[in-house]
Amino acid sequence: NLTTEEVTNAKKVRKLVKIPSLSESIPDNIQYLLIGGGTASFSAFRAIKSADPTARVLVISAEGYLPHMRPPLSKELWYGDDTEMAKSLNFHQWNGTTRSLFYEPEPFYTPVEELTTAKNGGISLARGWKVESINVSKKKVKLNDGKEISYDKCLIATGSVPKTLKLYDDANEELKNKFSVFRSISDFEDLWEQLGHIKSIAIIGGGFLGSELAASLANKGKKNGVKIYQIFKEKGNMGKVLPKYLSHWTTEKVRNEGVEVVTETEVENCTLENNKRRVNLKLSNGENISVDHVIMAVGAKPNTELATDAGLEIDSKLDGYLVNSELQARTDLYIAGDCACFYDKQLGRRRVEHHDHAVISGRLAGENMAGAAKPYQHQPMFWSDIGPSVGYEAIGIVDSSLVTLGVFAKGNHKDPSLLANETDQNTLQNKETNEELVSKNSESISENDYNKGVVFYLKNDVIVGIVLWNLFNRMSIARQVLKSDRCYKDLNEVAKLFNIHGD
């Protein structure tokens, strides 16, 4: 009989594949060294390889998996009926095509032992290995077993790590085992397995991860009668991003998916019940919830462990490695993805924790490592799908504390003559400040009114962000609007550019 701690450790050991098993197979010096095996790193590799076709690129990744994308882990992978497909980490995209989570299959990578001699260079992956420290002036890194590798150019793309709750940090191992975070393939596999034999899950957090996962798990758990709770501080789902009315509307959709959403509430305490099977959560609204498992979706922290030793600066407000517009922290040292705090020439200093930013910043860092000196100027987008009826894409700064103006298609326009004739009468406008909802129509909004539309986010009357709500294939228009002088007299006119009644 193993203790719970032993079981957890055994799981960790089973999952951490280390290839190559000995670090002596890893080159002692390399042209391009990429720290982290995520999206930003892989995108940098692609850019380096197209600028420098015989480049030798070594990726050191602490994860035991090939480079892959994370978005389907909280969405698409939960929706198919085919268990084998989910286990093989393939999923159906929105357009019906099947895709793998992995960017490239194993044979794409040059074996680490052959990288130095391969005629045309290539990319090698040392997985399950961690960079412990960087010596920036000597241009060297040290791995977790002490091995040193020197580089010509280096990228730090170490991403972010899930935050945990204090009540979890303070708990004993037995109680800790009832909690998990959700970021990696192994987190997905563990949760998939658990869902087969548990009856209730509480998700703490109302942001991207909590909201997507709550809808996905409720759908998946329907057949087995698994109850999903979602508990968070905000008034509605995505309350930090969406204007109040839209957040409220989204919460109703999440409830319709079968999730019991508990808003404006925090978990104050947790205890293991006498049968040791369930956790009791004491909530700030006075209620108690008893569940088999708890998922913490309470934000992520940029992974900047390497900063202190290397003497790299961390942004005191936004966190993350401080870099310039060219994504450079020091000579020959670049940062991209979630962990970069960069200077956006248009919108000021930022840090972005989304997929497309990892792609775009990784690409820019890669181009600059290979000799270009380009500034950050292509705005990344992001998207989220919360269950089957809420999908949106966004660009720029989208923060619900800003003034917003939303224009929505009113009702369901089934009559084609109405679709062709987009007028102000067919749109519903909502202006919201952080204080109040300034709209005469707010009381009479029917359930359908927020199905489709566009929301502008304003700072000093200038557009700084745009949400395209259930409205696709218009990102280039949004990018264009954000790129121009952005101070528009009539936002309704701008909204017309998006043809919100069209498909």
Asked if 366 touches ligand NAD (CB under 6 A), the answer is: no
Backbone angles phi, psi at 79, to 5 degrees: -95, -30
Q: How many CA atoms lie within 13 A of 244 on its CB side?
A: 14
For ligand FAD, what does the binding mask look like between residues 108 and 147, x meaning CB under 6 A?
----------------------xx----------------
Q: Which is nearer to ligand NAD, 109 or 232 (CB)?
A: 232
Dihedral over Cα of 177, 178, 180, 185: its sign: positive
Q: Provide CB contacts within 8 A for 496, sequence distance 6+.
A: 422
Within 77-96, the residues that bind ligand NAD by CB under 6 A are 93-94
22 burial via Cβ count (<10 Å: 0-12, 13-18, 19+): exposed
Residue 167's closest CA among 283, 299, 292, 267? 267
**76 is an interface residue for ligand FAD by CB under 6 A:** no
Length of the chain: 503
With CB under 6 A as the contact rule, the residue among 206, 320, 396, 465 that binds ligand NAD is 206
Give the nearest distance from C-beta 457 to ligand FAD in angstroms.
17
CB 159 within 8 A of CB 338: yes
Partner in contact with 206, chosen from ligand NAD, ligand FAD, none, beta carbon below 5 to 8 Å by kind: ligand NAD
Mask for 389-408, x = binds ligand NAD (CB under 6 A): --x-x---------------
Q: Which one of the spans 167-175, 227-235, 376-384, 414-422 is the region binding ligand FAD (CB under 6 A)?
A: 376-384
The verdict on 163 binding ligand FAD (CB under 6 A) reads no
Q: Could you say which of 40, 58, 136, 298 contacts ligand NAD (CB under 6 A)?
A: 298
Tell which one of 208, 321, 408, 456 touches ligand NAD (CB under 6 A). 208
- For the segment 257-276, give every residue that binds ligand NAD (CB under 6 A): 266
Distance from C-alpha of 374 to C-alpha of 364, rounded to nearest angstrom: 7
Residue 72 or 445 with smaller CB distance to ligand FAD: 72
- Element (H or E) spanning 408, and its range? strand 403-409
39 scored as a contact of ligand FAD (CB under 6 A): yes
Read off the DSSP letter of residue 286. S
Site string for ligand NAD, 155-184 (x = CB under 6 A): -----x----x-------------------
CA angle 459, 460, 463 (to 5 degrees): 50
Terminal Cα-to-Cα distance of the chain (whole angstroms): 59
What are the distances in angstroms from CA 154 to CA 103, 113, 366, 417? 21, 20, 10, 58
Binding to ligand NAD (CB under 6 A): which residues in 326-355?
A: 353-355
Q: Which is nearer to ligand NAD, 454 or 491 (CB)?
A: 454
Does 384 interact with ligand FAD (rule: CB under 6 A)? Answer: yes
In whole angstroms, give the CA distance from residue 433 to residue 500: 23
The residues near 440 (Cβ < 8 Å, ≥ 6 apart) are none
> What are the phi and psi torsion angles at 91 (to 5°)?
-150, 160
Instruction: Summarize as ranges the residues that interact with ligand NAD (CB under 6 A).
Output: 74, 93-94, 103, 160, 165, 204-210, 212, 232-234, 266, 297-300, 353-356, 359, 382-385, 391, 393, 472
Instruction: Summarize as ranges the residues that interact with ligand FAD (CB under 6 A).
Output: 35-41, 60-63, 70-71, 73-74, 130-131, 157-160, 182-183, 209, 303, 337-338, 353-356, 358, 382-384
